[in-house]
Amino acid sequence: MPARILIVEDDTTFRSLLRTILTGEGYETIEAADGRTGRTLLQREQYELVISDLKLPGKSGLELFRESRDDDFPPPFILLTAFGTVEEAVAAIKEGVVDFLTKPLKDPDTLRIIVAKALENSRAQREFLAFKEAEAAGLPPEELIFAGDAMVEVRRLIQEVAGTAATVLISGESGTGKELIARTIHLLSPRRKRSFIPLNCAAIPENLLESELFGHERGAFTGAMQARQGKFELAHGGTIFLDEIGEMPLPLQAKLLRVIQERTFERVGGNKEIRADVRIVAATHRDLTAEVREKRFREDLFYRLNVFPVRLPPLRERKDALPFLTDYFIRRFARDLGKKVAGIDNEALRRLREHDWPGNVRELQNVLERAVILAGKGISLRELPEAIASGLPSGRDDEGMLKTMEREAILSALKKSGGNRRKTAEELGISRRTLQYRLKEYGMLESDEENRS
């Protein structure tokens, strides 16, 4: 995504020159002819950089810079100054202005170099702060999140999009770390000081999902004894992470589309419009293009969410990361369990490499936590599950076993509810739409309609 740069300059000709040079470099430019207009634009939108004349009608560039420091996400500033006011610009740098340019501009390359440097320094500072905050929050370090050659492109994409306000759609198999990547995007963004609010759309019963998203007013439905904020309100100024977006029911998809388009919403049972100053990151393990073709997902919503797609590779495509991930999880679980575990022997590590990992990084975590619990001084084949230690091609078998267990759980819940699918979905903690998918997948749909209630 191109960096958004605000140009605040009252000289029309010079402003046009700046615009031509910057757009030629691929940047997106927005313009203001005076300080007051510049301040209004700064309060309304986010920018990666501001280039402002020092002397402006209504409000000076330095005043504009100082006032912007009180905003939630203040961008870096470059000041434009005539030769006679260079001393003022140098003084402004002591206050935090990143650089200044003298007018008239003798060499366009000077502008290009200063802008590129300012944007790169801003991104580097965001990354440093983000990963420090991630470590403090107990999240894996940067080298673990992006371990393996297959993650190089993912890392590049995350760095490019994080500083923007663009909506991101993360796709990948279950267990690949979609929420971790969403948190990383948030921590690398100007919104990192505000909340990151996750919501798993598949884990909330369909009749409660709208209230979870948008909140409700008192008396909106039976049991609504008081007004309640939804996830969009809680995420104000920050990021909302909509996991398993493909499980969202069609009626609610239409309401989410409206929020994305108009940036406003209403609580359930209310009529007051609430502004949604929220960055949306969504994730799915489904092929949403196929869901659109099958009319299970709105095409217009898909295009609104798919502004910046990021695909996470499964663990079987990043086997070169296994030694790093294994070492990290062993050390972490040993510390948490108060044990001294030297590590893992070569034969056990070889068997980990041979495994298909249908459950991806989440499965690896579970295997290694169990191994640390069982381990003496170190981890050998004895501490690994039989399916992995035996070296048999068990990845797909494991997946089949999981599907068998899931099918049995659904059958049990159906029996308990007397065949009522609404109650079955609530019992399983999934949406009715997800239950419908599973019933169809396992050939459990009945021809009659009486149990669809």
- Which residues in the chain are classed under CATH 1.10.8.60? 316-393
Round to whole Å and give the CA distance between 179 and 256. 20
Q: What is the mean pLDDT of residues 41-54?
A: 88
Q: In the predicted model, is pLDDT for residue 267 greater than 60?
A: yes
**pLDDT (0 to 100) of residue 404:** 62
Task: For domain 151-313, give the fold.
Answer: Rossmann fold (3.40.50)
Q: In the predicted model, is pLDDT for residue 273 greater than 70?
A: yes
> What dotted CATH number matches 4-125?
3.40.50.2300
* pTM given for the model: 0.65
Q: In the predicted model, is pLDDT for residue 115 greater than 90?
A: yes
Contact indicator for 158, 184 with CB cutoff of 8 Å: yes
Q: In the predicted model, is pLDDT for residue 361 greater than 80?
A: yes
**pLDDT (0 to 100) of residue 308:** 95
- Which residues in the chain are classed under CATH 3.40.50.300? 151-313
pLDDT level of residue 258 (50, 70, 90 thresholds): very high
**pLDDT (0 to 100) of residue 138:** 59
**pLDDT (0 to 100) of residue 136:** 59
Q: What is the mean pLDDT of residues 429-438?
A: 73
Q: What is the mean pLDDT of residues 95-118?
A: 88
As to burial, measured by CB atoms within 10 angstroms (0-12 exposed, 13-18 middle, 19+ buried), residue 453 is exposed
SS3 assignment for the chain:
CCCEEEEECCCHHHHHHHHHHHHHCCCEEEEECCHHHHHHHHHHCCCCEEEEECCCCCCCHHHHHHHHCCCCCCCCEEEEEEHHHHHHHHHHHHHCCCEEEEECCCCHHHHHHHHHHHHHHHHHHHHHHHHHHHHHCCCCCHHHHCCCHHHHHHHHHHHHHHCCCCCEEEECCCCCCHHHHHHHHHHHCCCCCCCEEEEECCCCCHHHHHHHHHCECCCCCCCCCCCECCHHHHCCCCEEEEECHHHCCHHHHHHHHHHHHHCEECCECCCCCEECCCEEEEEECCCHHHHHHCCCCCHHHHHHHCCEEEECCCHHHCHHHHHHHHHHHHHHHHHHHCCCCCCECHHHHHHHHHCCCCCHHHHHHHHHHHHHHHCCCCECHHHCCHHHHCCCCCHHHHHHHHHHHHHHHHHHHHHHCCCCHHHHHHHHCCCHHHHHHHHHHCCCCCCCCHHHC
Tell me which residue of 6, 159, 113, 3 sits closest to 68, measured CA to CA. Answer: 6
pLDDT level of residue 74 (50, 70, 90 thresholds): confident
Angle at 372 between CA 331 and CA 130, to 5 degrees: 30
Q: In the predicted model, is pLDDT for residue 98 greater than 90?
A: no
* Least reliable range by pLDDT among 66-75, 82-91, 292-301, 342-351: 82-91
* Least reliable range by pLDDT among 50-54, 374-378, 403-407, 421-425: 403-407
**pLDDT (0 to 100) of residue 449:** 40
Q: In the predicted model, is pLDDT for residue 397 greater than 80?
A: no
Distance in Å from the first CA to the final CA of the chain: 46
Q: In the predicted model, is pLDDT for residue 64 greater than 60?
A: yes
**pLDDT (0 to 100) of residue 1:** 62
Round to whole Å and give the CA distance between 19 and 259. 32
**pLDDT (0 to 100) of residue 71:** 77
Dig out the tokens for 63 from the structure.
Answer: 């005043």
What tens digit of pLDDT does each residue of 292-309 get? 999 999 999 999 999 999
**pLDDT (0 to 100) of residue 34:** 92
Sign of the alpha-carbon dihedral angle for 190, 193, 194, 195: positive
User: Which one of 3.30.70, 1.10.520, 1.10.10, 1.10.1740 gives the CATH number of domain 403-452?
Assistant: 1.10.10
**pLDDT (0 to 100) of residue 285:** 93
Q: In the predicted model, is pLDDT for residue 420 greater than 80?
A: yes
Q: In the predicted model, is pLDDT for residue 453 greater than 60?
A: no
Q: Which CATH class is domain 316-393?
A: mainly alpha
Q: In the predicted model, is pLDDT for residue 172 greater than 90?
A: yes
What tens digit of pLDDT does each residue of 76-91 get? 999 988 765 667 767 7
pLDDT level of residue 368 (50, 70, 90 thresholds): very high
| The one-letter amino acid at 155 | R
Q: In the predicted model, is pLDDT for residue 13 greater than 80?
A: yes
Tell me which residue of 222, 146, 148 sits closest to 184, measured CA to CA. Answer: 146
**pLDDT (0 to 100) of residue 102:** 84
Q: What percent of the chain has pLDDT over 70?
A: 89
**pLDDT (0 to 100) of residue 452:** 43
Contact indicator for 55, 88 with CB cutoff of 8 Å: no
**pLDDT (0 to 100) of residue 17:** 93
Q: In the predicted model, is pLDDT for residue 266 greater than 70?
A: yes
pLDDT level of residue 125 (50, 70, 90 thresholds): confident
